[in-house]
Amino acid sequence: MIHPARLAIATVALALAAGLGSATAQTPPTSAAVDPARIEDLVAANRILAEEGVLDAYGHVSIRHPSDPTRYLMSRSLAPILVTASDIMEYDLDSNPIDPQGRRGVIERFIHGEIYMLRPDVNAVIHSHSPAVVPFGITQVPMRPVIHVASFLWVGVPVWDSRDVADPASAAMLVRNAALGRSLALRLSDKPVALMRGHGNVVVGPDVQMAVRYAIYTEVNARLQAAAIAIGGPINYISAEEGAARDKGERDFARAWELWKKKALGK
Ligand SMILES: [Zn+2]
């Protein structure tokens, strides 16, 4: 057992070391350099989602830092179609920018940090105002898969309502602090998609390519489900059994990514 006096001395020494560290460092340490190919994919994701009508002037995409799981990377506050590699900023999981260099971060960055904290399986997060999903966040009809490419929705699509959070900022509906971000992350739970009432959605994936695919086909599914409801009568949804079988089946996602990236980056 460590003697209490020794423990106190050790604690003081640690505190001093920490104080000295913060006094001498001009900026907090940044993580190791990121492979430019990963940054290119993140830039491509921004532009792809804008071109596919998921993001407009608003909304954002992030990736977990490839070599530091306690950090994430996301563009400064900028319309996604305009994002370039030099706009990518690094954040810690409390959503503090590490070395902003005068760049302004997005207001709703807390969505990203709080999800990365709760979901170690998630390496990419998208927040969008994906228009076709909004009706499913304000009515009583749950979003369910109606097309095979959106079969991942079989696990259910929870709806988060900012009004359920006892926080003074909740009435303005934006996820502008950690408490609101945490509440949304808890509502998302282990799912790939959660709707945000009167606002949009959050989509997550094991990598940015999968998250982009989920975000695009969630928007497509919302349009098709609304069309099916408009036709009327019972709807023959994709079943849980089919969804689970497709989750385990052979995948050929690279084909779509190459197409989307070529269209978005012109190369
Ligand atoms: Zn938003």
Q: How far apart are CA 53 and CA 132, in angstroms?
A: 10
Per-residue model confidence (pLDDT) at position 30? 62
pLDDT of residue 173: 83
**Which among 109, 74, 115 is positioned nearest to 95, based on CA atoms?**
109
Q: Where are the domains of the chain?
A: 36-265
Over the stretch 57-94, which tens digit does the pLDDT of each residue have? 899 999 999 999 999 999 989 999 999 999 999 999 99
**Least confident window among 8-22, 60-74, 159-173, 218-232:** 8-22
Q: Assess whether pLDDT exceeds 90 at residue 102.
A: no
Percent over 70 (pLDDT), the chain: 88
Cβ atoms 154, 242 nearer than 8 A: yes
- pLDDT score, position 1: 39
Tokens of 195: 């709707």
Tens of pLDDT, residues 213-258? 999 999 999 999 999 999 999 999 999 999 998 888 777 788 889 9
Give me ligand 1 centre to Cα 24, in Å: 37
96 — pLDDT class (breaks 50, 70, 90): very high
Euclidean distance between CA atoms 206 and 237, whole angstroms: 26
CA angle 17, 22, 27 (to 5 degrees): 145
* Cα(12)–Cα(84) distance, integer angstroms: 45
Burial 15-43, CB ≥16 within 10 A → b, else e: eeeeeeeeeeeeeeeeeeebeeebbebbb
Task: Please determine, for residue 156, whether its predicted confidence score (pLDDT) is greater than 50.
Answer: yes
pLDDT digits 0-9 by tens, 117-130:
999 999 999 999 99
Whether residue 21 has pLDDT greater than 50: no
pLDDT computed for residue 249 by the predictor: 78
Q: Report pLDDT digits (tens) over 48-59.
A: 999 999 998 899
Q: What integer is the mean pLDDT of 162-190?
A: 88
List the one residue out of 60, 44, 28, 33 whose CA is nearest residue 127.
Answer: 60
Tell me if the domain spanning 36-265 has CATH number 3.40.50.2300: no
Q: Output the CA 202–ligand 1 centroid distance in Å.
A: 9
Q: Nearest to residue 184, comparing CAs of 98, 116, 248, 233?
A: 116
For 158-168, what is the mean pLDDT? 88
Alpha carbons 88 and 65: distance in angstroms, whole number: 11
DSSP secondary structure letter of residue 58? S
Catalytic residue among 90, 108, 114, 219: 108
Could you tell me what percent of the chain has a pLDDT over 90? 68
Q: Which position has the higher pLDDT, 34 or 167?
A: 34
Tokens for 253? 């996602």
- Give 119 Cα–ligand 1 centroid separation in angstroms: 20
Structure confidence by residue, pLDDT tens digits, 34-46: 899 999 999 999 9
Q: Is the pLDDT of residue 13 over 50?
A: no
Q: Kindly give the distance from the C-alpha atom of residue 157 to the centroid of ligand 1, in angstroms, as a whole number.
A: 18
Per-residue confidence (pLDDT) for residue 31, from 0 to 100: 65
Catalytic: 108?
Answer: yes
Q: In what order do the strands lie in the sheet with 159-160?
A: 88-92, 71-75, 60-64, 124-128, 200-205, 193-196, 159-160
Pair 83, 102: CB distance under 8 Å:
no
The length of the chain in residues reads 267
CA of 166 to the centre of ligand 1 (A): 19
Span from the CA of 234 to the centroid of ligand 1 (angstroms): 33
| 17 pLDDT more than 50 | no
